[in-house]
A = this chain, B = another copy of it.
Amino acid sequence: MVCQAKDFQQEHKKEMRAVQDSMDVLSGKWKIPIISSLCYYNKRRFSDILNDIEGISNRMLSKELKDLEINKLIKRTILDTQPITVQYELTQHGITLKTIINNLTEWGIEHRKKIIEQ
């Protein structure tokens, strides 16, 4: 009995740590919106993302894109255009976040309804 309770405890600790691991990579005001943009549009240029996300500054977008690239969630490609354009897309690993993005989208819609209805 006591032993099983301890097992649950252990299991929950692991789950809690896993969630925090996710949040280490995803927290902040802009990471999720950026990933969402790439999730919905697939390939997207710097200035496009800048327009997709309301309120973000180029400084922040630049910094966050770097972070996400370091964490292997997105891939950066310089296109041979004139002038040069840069394309971003999700990596295979980044794509595994699609489920979460979809859930957040659905939840956001429901949450807005809940807030408005009162």
A: residues with CB less than 8 A from B are 12, 15-23, 25, 27-29, 32-33, 36-37, 40-41, 52-54, 72, 93, 96-97, 99-101, 103-112, 114
Contacts and interface: CB of A to CB of B under 8 A. Distances in A.
Contacts of A96: 107, 110
A16 B40 contact: yes
Given A23-B32, A33-B23, A36-B19, A103 B99 contact: yes
**How many monomers of this protein are in the complex?**
2
B20 A108 contact: yes
B29 A23 contact: yes
Given A16-B33, A16-B40, A100-B100, 17 more contacts: A12-B40, A15-B36, A15-B40, A15-B105, A16-B36, A17-B108, A18-B106, A18-B108, A19-B105, A19-B108, A20-B108, A21-B108, A21-B111, A23-B32, A96-B107, A96-B110, A97-B107
